[in-house]
Amino acid sequence: MIKKTLPAAIALAGSLGLAGAANAVNVNHEGLGEVLLYSLYTTEGGNDSLINITNTSSVVTAVKVRFLEGMNSQEVLDFNLYLSPYDVWTASVSRSAAGAILKTADTSCTVPTIPAGGVEFRNTQYQGTSYPSGKGGPQGTDRTRVGYVEVIQMGTVENEADPSTFKPALWATHAAGVPTNCGALNAAWTPPGGAWVAAPSRAITNQRGGLYGSMVLVDVNGGTDVAYDAVAIDNWAVTTNHTAPGSLLPTLNNGDIDFSLPDGSTGSAASGADALSAVLQVTNQMNDYLTVASLSAGTDWNVTFPTKKFYSAVWPDVNNDSIPDLPAFTPEPFTSFWNPELGGSACEPISISFWDQEEGEPAGGIDFSPQPEAGPQSLCWEANIISINGSNVLGGGYTLNTVDLGDAFNAGWMQFNYTGAYVNGKFPPIAPTFTRHVQTSLGSVLGLPAIGFAVIEFTNGDVGGLLSNYAGLTNHKSDTAVVSAL
């Protein structure tokens, strides 16, 4: 639900010539788009993560597939995927001895080719402690076991007119279930003479959207699985972004600056990251919990901030020894910079309210206000797992958070609020108060850009004397608010 404290907000957008924006970035709640955001993969807690990417269009599409670890979105694996018309690509992420590994039996063309034995996730991007490249925190490959996924459509692949020349669309298109020539696509990216090495836009035209995706989280030992849909971002870019496999580009900051909210109001932002943050911005997230001991029930939440990496960059000198001035940027809509000197974190204090299934609230305090809270809480990572009352459904690894609601609250619903201002007392010495919002031509879009879900598992031992395990997943519900200015 979008709340407007400025009735003229839409009129303002119209006066700026934005009301009719044809290619405004938006969350497509019908599930199709140019960008897919998978809020979690996990290989912790006995889970495997199975990813699906589907091309519903009649053309070959070039896609960047990027796996990012959950602490501060350092890339752990990146490759190009070339989807045939109406194609589906599938793969699994599983725990390995050192970290996590991606495997696929799919024939769709990837560059590089994924070997039969799979490819291990890598810790290259977060090695060392040098600033300002996001270093700090655990250095091992075990950090790759929890994270999230970006899928970015880079363009439509075509054939050149001369039949004797470049035919990448033909090479990627399936014949009898197998692409015609994946080797030729790999050769096109092989230096020094590959056709796409010198000219990445050769035989590439604009994106056409039409992607959808899902992730299945399989608890092998528990005998359960749950699935969720990727968040689909449509009208993301107006130009092609075809880049080499392994390139850190395109990023989510390379999209359009015009955006559209669910109520149809449109605006523009200072950057692609701001526009995407605006359409993902929420003031509250709500969902259920169930932790009844007699059912062996457990609930974990996932909260992921897909654009946080563009705001919570490494602070150049946390102790302010040699750089006395504040940086030219602020972490808005977030409140903290990534702090390697504290072991790697960028914590966002939040408020938590909760109720049981009969509207019950924690005892004590004023009857009607303030709302009940689970005490001070912070979400310090970019793909957070939140364990409710000691549950262990999704594992967690380095991104685990815990919320203890008490024995009396084992079934009900909970709300995370993201609107509070926060003064960071650690650094810099004189800290501004950062208000959580994205400033746009439409006004200030409040909250934080957050996606995610809740997973509930429980056991029933009364079915014919057999022990039965069950699991379910529900997406978070949310509110959004826009004000004129902050």
One pLDDT digit (tens) per residue for the chain, 486 residues: 554 443 333 333 333 333 334 579 999 999 999 999 999 999 999 999 999 999 999 999 999 999 999 999 999 999 999 999 999 999 999 999 999 999 999 999 999 999 999 999 999 988 865 544 446 788 899 999 999 999 999 999 999 987 678 999 999 999 999 999 999 999 999 999 999 999 999 999 999 999 999 999 999 888 899 999 999 999 999 888 999 998 999 999 999 999 999 888 999 999 999 999 999 999 999 999 999 999 999 999 999 999 999 888 655 444 444 433 434 456 789 888 787 766 778 888 888 889 999 888 776 433 333 334 444 478 999 999 999 999 999 998 899 999 999 889 999 999 999 987 433 333 333 344 446 889 999 999 999 999 999 999 998 766 555 667 899 999 999 998 888 765
Domain of 378? 269-483
Looking at 232, 255, 278, which one is the last position of a domain? 255
- Specify whether 274 is located in the same domain as 370: yes
- Specify whether 388 is located in the same domain as 430: yes
- Specify whether 164 is located in the same domain as 60: yes
Looking at 194, 225, 255, which one is the last position of a domain? 255
- Specify whether 340 is located in the same domain as 424: yes
Looking at 255, 279, 310, which one is the last position of a domain? 255
Task: Give a yes or no: residue 72 inside a domain.
Answer: yes
Task: Give a yes or no: residue 6 inside a domain.
Answer: no
- Specify whether 210 is located in the same domain as 109: yes
The beta strands (E) that lie in 146-277 are given as 146-157, 174-175, 178-179, 204-205, 211-219, 224-229, 231-234, 258-260, 266-268
- Specify whether 82 is located in the same domain as 115: yes
> Phi/psi of residue 170, each to 5°?
-65, -45
- Specify whether 189 is located in the same domain as 278: no
Task: Give a yes or no: residue 235 inside a domain.
Answer: yes
Count how many domains the chain has.
2
Task: Give a yes or no: residue 386 inside a domain.
Answer: yes
For residue 474 the two structure tokens come to: 């529900």
Nearest to 85 by CA among 58, 53, 52, 54: 58
- Specify whether 101 is located in the same domain as 222: yes
The count of other CB atoms within 10 Å of the CB of residue 334 is 23
Task: Give a yes or no: residue 3 inside a domain.
Answer: no
The pTM is what? 0.90
- Specify whether 472 is located in the same domain as 366: yes
- Specify whether 366 is located in the same domain as 445: yes
Rounded Cα gap, residues 365 and 10, in angstroms? 41
Report the length, in residues, of the chain. Answer: 486
Task: Give a yes or no: residue 448 inside a domain.
Answer: yes
Task: Give a yes or no: residue 57 inside a domain.
Answer: yes
Task: Give a yes or no: residue 90 inside a domain.
Answer: yes
- Specify whether 170 is located in the same domain as 225: yes
Rounded Cα gap, residues 429 and 411, in angstroms? 43
- Specify whether 366 is located in the same domain as 231: no
Residue 368: strand pairing partners: none
